Structure 1
Amino acid sequence: MSFGKRLYQIWVWFCFIVVFLLIYPFFVLFSLRDSWKKYGHFFNKVWAHTVFGSCMLRTKVEFRFKQDKKQSYVYCANHSSYLDIPTLCYSLSGYYLFIGKASLAKVPLFGYMFRNYYIAVDRHSKLSRYETMQKSMEAIDKKRSLAFFPEGTIPKNAGYQMIPFKDGAFRIAIEKQVPIVPVTIPFNWLILPDDGKYVPNRRLMKVIVHEPIETKGMTLDDVDALKDKTFDIIQRELIIQNKEVALV
Structure 2
Amino acid sequence: MKKALSLIFTLYCGIIFLVPFLVLFPFIFICIQFKPLHRFAHRIIRFWSYIFFFLTGMPIKRIFRFRPDKKKAYVFVANHFTYLDIAAGMNIVDNYFAYVGKSSVKKAPLFGYMFAKLHIQVDRSDKWSRTKSLKKGIDTVKSGRSVFIMPEGGIVGENPPQMHTPLKDGPFIMAIENQVPIVPVTFLNFHEINKPLDRFNFGIRPKVIFNEKIETKGMKKEDIEPLKRKVYQIIQGDLDAYWNYKSLPYSS
- Aligned 8 A contact 1:180 1:212 in 2: yes
Which residue number corresponds to residue 30 of structure 1? 31
State the shift of 1:5 in Å. Answer: 2.8
Which residue number corresponds to residue 201 of structure 1? 201
- Aligned 8 A contact 2:5 2:200 in 1: no
Please give the residue correspondences for 1:125-204 in structure 2 after superposition, counting only pairs within 5 Å. Answer: 125-164=126-165, 165-193=167-195, 201-202=201-202, 203-204=204-205
Aligned residues: CA RMSD: 1.9
- Aligned 8 A contact 2:157 2:163 in 1: no
- In the superposition, the TM-score normalised over structure 1's length comes to 0.93
- Aligned 8 A contact 1:136 1:146 in 2: yes
Query: Per the alignment, do residues 158 and 49 of structure 1 end up closer, same or farther by CA in structure 2, a change over 3 Å counting?
Result: farther
Aligned equivalents of 1:117, 1:17: Cα separation in 2: 19
Aligned equivalents of 1:132, 1:200: Cα separation in 2: 39
Report % sequence identity: 36
- Provide the aligned length of Structure 1 versus Structure 2: 244
Query: What letter matches 1:7 in structure 2?
Result: I
- Aligned 8 A contact 2:100 2:149 in 1: yes
Cα deviation 1:131-160 (Å, max 9, x = unaligned): 111111111121100000000110253511
1:5 aligns with 2:3: no
Which residue number corresponds to residue 49 of structure 1? 50
- Aligned 8 A contact 1:192 1:200 in 2: no
Aligned equivalents of 2:172, 2:200: Cα separation in 1: 33
Aligned equivalents of 1:70, 1:39: Cα separation in 2: 16
Aligned equivalents of 1:224, 1:167: Cα separation in 2: 8
- Aligned 8 A contact 1:12 1:55 in 2: yes
Which residue number corresponds to residue 115 of structure 1? 116
Aligned equivalents of 1:120, 1:199: Cα separation in 2: 34
Unaligned runs of 5+ in 1: none
Cα deviation 1:170-218 (Å, max 9, x = unaligned): 011111100000000011111113x6x6988221100101010000000
- In the superposition, the TM-score normalised over structure 2's length comes to 0.91
